[in-house]
Amino acid sequence: MALGSENVVDVVGIVAEILRQANDSKRIVFVSGNFNVIHPGHLRLLNFAAECGELLVVGVTGDASPGVFVPENLRLEGVKAISAVSFAFILPVPVEEFVAALKPHAVVKGKEHEGHSNPELSVVEGYGGKLFFCSGETRFSSMDLLQREFRETNLSTIRKPTDFPARHGFDNRGLVDLVGRFSSLRVVVVGDLIVDEYVTCDPLGMSQEDPTVVVTPIKHDLFVGGAGIVAAHAKGLGAQVKYFGVVGEDQAANFAMQTLHKYGVDACLVNDESRPTTLKQRYRARGKTLLRVSHLRQHEISRELITRLLDEMDRALDKADLLVFSDFNYGCLPQLLVDEIISRCARLGVPMVADSQSSSQMGDVSRFQGMLLLTPTEHEARLAVRDTASGLVVLAEVLNRRARAGHVFITLGAEGVLIHSADGALQGLTTDQLPAFNTAPKDVSGAGDCLLVCASMALVAGASVWQSAYLGSIAAACQVGRVGNFPLTAAEVIQELNL
């Protein structure tokens, strides 16, 4: 079939874009079809095809093709929404002609085509490619449904208390206005960068040799975590953000830089040859985490790197409205660096907030002196003041005095958050508590990051401590309603406020 000039241009442009994305290093796999209504069979086929290479390309047939009854733009939109698909387009020419132009590593078709005539077979064999016939495995049928777990927040499980706003004299309309002010803020974030990998597994059963659970990994998802996602949350909520962190020389660092750039975060990542980029893997099956594996080093960065970070931060601090310490105690924030940043922010009048995580590692949140807000867990607060017996209110008061903080929010997991304010006495109340807003959390990691960012930005934007705690709790509730670290957005918070 002879090609019209318009079709030639289309094919050349499409092939050029696919090869650009492949970057000479990724094996291209090609699938084509009508895709009238996406069903489990399509998902099995496409996920199988994605396993055959690194870049899955899907050609959706045009409206003139036999068997088509849904408009091509709708069919293309449906295919693009499938997480396994890297690139999708409307086929401007017959399949065999496009395959001849692209020369993919493999072409994949459903098993039902194996006994029929396949015009692309001779083309694939001609350049040494492979033609596979397989409809995928049953375990893949729910893969894209699983992907919803990562990206979609179920707002119906969020329950907002009405007594707290009434007690402190504010309503949701005022909170929406506060969120609108976030876009005028300039936020600087400094702390440990983490890359989180979620490995979704299919449980196969129990080993017969020893009492071990056996799983097979079926999907890998990478996210920027740690202080990096704190910066991305601030950007998603509307602020102009500068982030400073430390990475190794590896693929995780490249991924983090590219992802932060995609999120709109201006990142300055200093390379430390003595450590890898911190990578945390979570193996999950059927909505539950089975195992966590951390690849990291925990020694403090050198004086040379401290000097480099301070030099890089000077210009950003001069224009900042807020400085966020996001400490995971992996060595990015040694005390010498912390004290110097605090000193410079104090001279410039920049408000500071801090969170110092101590789950599997040891830390002391009270070492961040003079913060506007601290957001430790109960465990972290007790570690800081070395008190395992006192009640929560006493614990908050002691930490508040020791760290000379403006406000302390002690996060309590499923029990919510305790709010303690040094200047709350002016309103006749120094301590109050909010319950956890999300009644059915999917993934609690990242809740504290959202609370810290949203609450601290609200304080700087003019909110009362009670308004900021309420907004922070909404942000945390939105975050735990999905799996994996995606940046929170102002639109999500406003949507929940308006419900």
Assess whether pLDDT exceeds 90 at residue 490: yes
Contact 455, 182 (CB under 8 A): no
Q: Report in angstroms the alpha-carbon separations of 458 from 237, 309, 462.
A: 10, 27, 6
Surface-to-core class of residue 265, CB atoms within 10 Å of its CB (0-12 exposed, 13-18 middle, 19+ buried): buried
Which pLDDT band, with edges at 50, 70 and 90, does 142 fall under?
Answer: very low
Q: Return the closest-CA partner of residue 324 out of 356, 290, 354.
A: 354
What confidence tier does 9 reach under pLDDT thresholds 50, 70, 90? Answer: low
Residue 13: φ, ψ to 5°: -65, -40
Q: How far apart are CA 247 and CA 384, in angstroms?
A: 27
Band (pLDDT 50/70/90 cuts) for residue 427 is very low
pLDDT single digits (tens) 345-359 = 999 999 999 999 887
Which segments within 11-83 are labelled E, that is strand?
A: 28-33, 55-60
Cα angle vertex 378, ends 372, 380, to 5°?
Answer: 70
Between 4 and 235, where is the model more confident? 235
H/E element holding 381? helix 378-385
Q: Are strands 278-285 and 288-295 parallel, antiparallel or unpaired?
A: antiparallel
> How does pLDDT run across 296-332, given as a tens digit for each residue?
898 999 999 999 999 999 999 999 999 999 999 999 9
Four-residue CA torsion sign, 10, 14, 19, 21: positive
CA distances from 243 to 176, 306, 423 (A): 26, 15, 30
Cα–Cα nearest to 331, from 452, 248, 224, 242: 248
Task: Report the candidate in 44, 20, 12 with the shortest Cα–Cα distance to residue 31.
Answer: 44
Q: What is the mean pLDDT of residues 283-300?
A: 89
Whether 286 has a pLDDT exceeding 90, the answer reads no
Residue 126 is predicted with a pLDDT of 95
**pLDDT tens digits, 55-97:** 999 999 999 898 888 899 989 998 998 888 999 999 999 999 9
The interaxial angle of helices 490-498 and 172-181, nearest 10 deg, is 170
- CATH code matching the domain that covers 155-194+223-283+292-498, chosen among 1.10.10.10, 3.60.10.10, 3.40.1190.20, 3.40.50.920: 3.40.1190.20
Residue with tokens 């735990």: 480
281 strand-pairing partners: 197, 293
For residues 397-421, give the mean pLDDT: 91
Amino acid at 423: D
Q: Which of 13-27, 38-52, 140-154, 383-397 has the largest mean confidence?
A: 13-27
Beta carbons of 214 and 206 less than 8 angstroms apart: yes
Cα 54 from Cα 30, distance rounded (Å):
11
Helix (H, G, I), strand (E, B) or coil at 363: coil
| pLDDT higher than 60, residue 54 | yes
Distance separating the N- and C-terminal Cα atoms of the chain:
56
Angle between helices 335-348 and 303-318 (to 10 degrees): 20
Q: Identify the band that residue 5 occupies on the pLDDT scale cut at 50, 70 and 90.
A: very low
What CA–CA distances, in Å, run from 244 to 35, 271, 342?
45, 11, 15
Looking at 197-321, list the stretches that DSSP marks H as alpha helix, in order from N- to C-terminal side: 227-236, 251-263, 303-318
Which pLDDT value is given to residue 135? 65
Average pLDDT over all residues of the chain:
88
Judge residue 133's burial from the number of C-beta atoms within 10 Å of its C-beta, 0-12 exposed, 13-18 middle, 19 or more buried. Answer: middle
Instruction: Look at the block and give the residue holding tokens 């709708």.
Output: 74
Helix axes 447-460, 465-479, angle to 10 degrees: 150
Give residue 438's pLDDT: 87
C-alpha 50/C-alpha 41 separation (Å) is: 14
Whole-Å CA distances, 79 to 82, 137, 469, 476: 5, 19, 41, 32
Domain positions in the chain: 5-146, 155-194+223-283+292-498
Q: How confident is the model at residue 360 (pLDDT cuts 50, 70, 90)?
A: low
Joined together, the tokens standing for residue 414 give 């499923």
Average pLDDT over residues 193-221: 86
| CATH of range 5-146; options 1.10.150.570, 3.40.1350.10, 3.40.50.620, 3.40.640.10 | 3.40.50.620
